[in-house]
Amino acid sequence: MNSAGYKTRQKAVIEDLLIKNADRHLTADDITDMLKEGGNDVGRTTVYRTLERLVTDNKVRRFSMPQGDSACYQYISAGETCHEHFHLKCNYCGALLHIECEQMSLLSEHIAKHHGFAVDNLKTVLYGVCQKCAGERK
């Protein structure tokens, strides 16, 4: 599960920052800046490469934004292993909703059975419009 590798200051401070902000979604740039402000300077390249590793290791979730905007990353908390758990992200206010829903399991099952594809709920984010924003835009 963990890609072996050496222990370094950079890896430690990046993972640490993500854990401390597990309720937020941060861009690679946010992370670079926050570390610099904290006196824990890490090169931009290293931030990207570390995030890539963490995503591969399933420790971090990556949110793909529409082109032009930068991707967001968020630490995957320990308890989040249940497969009925998934995420909704509002395109307008950016709110991230965590939902437990058996309907999602039904979809995953259906896709596995009929389309031969194993959906990873931890990595998947459904984009749309939340109730609040839908109201405001009427």
Instruction: Enumerate binding residues for a copy of itself (CB under 8 A).
Output: 64-67, 70-71, 88, 90-91, 97, 99, 101, 103-104, 106-107, 110-111, 114-120, 123-131, 134
d(CA 81, CA 61) in angstroms, rounded, equals 13
Output 11 or 123, the one with its CB closest to a copy of itself: 123
Residue 63 tokens, joined: 């949110």
Closest by CA position to 29, among listed 39, 43, 40, 16: 43
Nearer to DNA, 67 or 116 (CB): 67
Residue of 60, 136, 57, 37 lying closest to 95 (CA atoms): 136
Asked if 39 touches DNA (CB under 7 A), the answer is no
Give the interface with DNA as residue ranges (CB under 7 A). Answer: 3, 5-11, 27-29, 41-46, 48-50, 52, 65, 67-71
